[in-house]
């Protein structure tokens, strides 16, 4: 089965998606800094298993629309995009699966639109209900005497000026830094997710061979996407976290009640930082069907595709 590409009018603009297979709809949502292509190893497996696998380019990425207004990347808009995609595909409901930022988008899609998303799979970044401290303040504390990467991404143009002169080189370092077989690790003297005053993220990336999951051809694809689009659309997701905190205040502490699945990496900083969120799953994901930690880093569906495919298929088959 070949991958078919299309552009849909959905939400406030266009959404590009790649589709493979037929059957119950499974919507796949990527994270930062990636694209629909991050699901290239899941789509054929899901299609073979009897599902309609649809991987989209999130707003701001690839061939999807890239609004100029940074506020157009708030969570409410991204959820609306996902609902509109399901409707535009002629379906009334779907299972939504997300990785990294896509995991957070998928979780909030299930929370805000339970009539559309009947189940949710969460990869790498655990579900944290809305509420708690203001994100900008919390991330500022995480940096300690230095600047945490989320804070570093806040000022428009700042991260872009580091990344865009050499997109391919920066992506190589970022992917390497969070891969299980090449990562610097959270206990390294110069972890990649914090910067010195006046410094850059890139100066702390580990060097050496590409991660085992990433080929030169894969890297060429990712680099070409961002060389064409720039990084502003992708980075604008980070620039809406306080807006999301305000928008989602009515849902503070809310659980996701649909069937859910979590798969994380044992060597992923996300699962280490948010271990309390995983511990809270009996309350925040009361219909969790499985919580799994694989021996890998952050790019879980690319680092461990066979294991992830098996877990996704088991989850879907048992719905």
pLDDT digits (tens), the chain, 319 positions: 799 999 998 877 899 999 999 999 999 999 999 999 999 999 999 999 999 999 999 999 999 999 999 999 999 999 999 999 999 999 999 999 999 999 999 999 999 999 999 999 999 999 999 999 999 999 888 878 889 999 999 999 999 999 999 999 999 999 999 999 887 655 554 566 888 888 899 998 988 899 999 999 999 999 999 999 999 999 999 999 999 999 999 999 999 999 999 999 999 989 998 999 999 999 999 999 999 999 999 999 999 999 999 999 999 999 9
Q: pLDDT value at position 255? A: 98
CA angle 97–103–107, rounded 5-degree value: 80
CA distance 197 to 65: 34
CA distance 273 to 128: 12
**DSSP for residue 97:** E
The total of other beta-carbon atoms located within 10 Å of residue 46's CB is: 26
157 close to 312: Cβ distance less than 8 angstroms: no
Q: Which residues pair with 7 in a beta bridge?
A: 16
Chain-centroid distance of CA 195 in Å reads 22
CA distance 119 to 93: 9
Annotation says 108 is catalytic: no
Q: pLDDT value at position 10? A: 81
Q: pLDDT value at position 189? A: 45
Considering 57, 81, 100, 244, which one is annotated as catalytic? 100
In sequence order, what are the residues at sequence separation of 6 or more whose Cβ sits closer than 8 angstroms to the Cβ of residue 3?
Answer: 18, 19, 20, 43
Considering 16, 108, 192, 298, which one is annotated as catalytic? 298
Annotation says 298 is catalytic: yes
- Please enumerate, as own/partner, the contacts of 110-116 that have beta carbons within 8 Å and a separation of 24 or more: 110/256, 110/258, 110/260, 111/251, 111/254, 111/256, 112/76, 112/79, 112/251, 113/79, 113/82, 113/83, 114/257, 114/258, 116/82, 116/83, 116/86, 116/92
295 close to 266: Cβ distance less than 8 angstroms: yes
Give me the domain span that covers residue 235: 4-317
Q: pLDDT value at position 214? A: 97
Q: What is the total count of domains within the chain?
A: 1
Q: What tokens appear for 279 in the block?
A: 């511990």
CATH number for 198: 3.40.50.1820
State the pairing for strand pair 52-56/13-20.
antiparallel
CA distance 43 to 190: 36
């Amino acid at each position: 089965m070949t991958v078919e590409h299309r552009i849909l009018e959905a939400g406030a603009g266009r959404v590009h998606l790649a589709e493979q297979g037929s059957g119950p709809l499974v919507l796949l949502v990527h994270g930062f800094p990636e694209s629909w292509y991050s699901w290239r190893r899941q789509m054929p497996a899901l299609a073979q298993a009897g599902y309609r696998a649809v991987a989209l380019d999130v707003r701001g990425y690839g061939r999807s629309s890239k609004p100029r207004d940074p506020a157009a990347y708030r969570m409410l808009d991204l959820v609306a995009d996902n609902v509109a995609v399901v409707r535009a595909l002629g379906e009334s409901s779907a299972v939504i699966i997300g990785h990294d930022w896509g995991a957070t988008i998928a979780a909030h899609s299930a929370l805000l639109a339970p009539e559309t998303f009947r189940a949710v799979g969460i990869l790498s970044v655990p579900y944290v209900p809305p509420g708690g401290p203001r994100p900008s303040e919390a991330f500022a504390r995480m940096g300690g005497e230095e600047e945490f990467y989320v804070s570093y991404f806040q000022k428009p143009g700042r991260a872009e000026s580091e990344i865009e002169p050499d997109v391919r080189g920066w992506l190589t370092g970022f992917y390497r830094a969070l891969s299980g077989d090449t990562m610097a690790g959270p206990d390294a003297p110069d972890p990649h997710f914090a910067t010195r005053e006046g410094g850059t993220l890139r100066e702390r990336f580990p060097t050496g061979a590409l991660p085992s999951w990433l080929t030169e051809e894969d890297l060429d694809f990712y680099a070409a996407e961002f060389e064409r689009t720039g990084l502003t659309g992708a980075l604008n997701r980070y620039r809406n976290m306080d807006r999301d905190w305000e928008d989602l205040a009515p849902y503070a502490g809310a659980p996701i009640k649909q069937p859910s699945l979590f798969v994380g990496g044992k060597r992923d900083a996300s699962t280490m930082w948010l271990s309390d969120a995983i511990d809270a799953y009996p309350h925040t994901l009361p219909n969790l069907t499985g919580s799994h930690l694989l021996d890998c880093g952050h790019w879980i569906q690319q680092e461990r595709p066979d294991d992830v495919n098996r877990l996704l298929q088991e989850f879907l088959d048992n719905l």
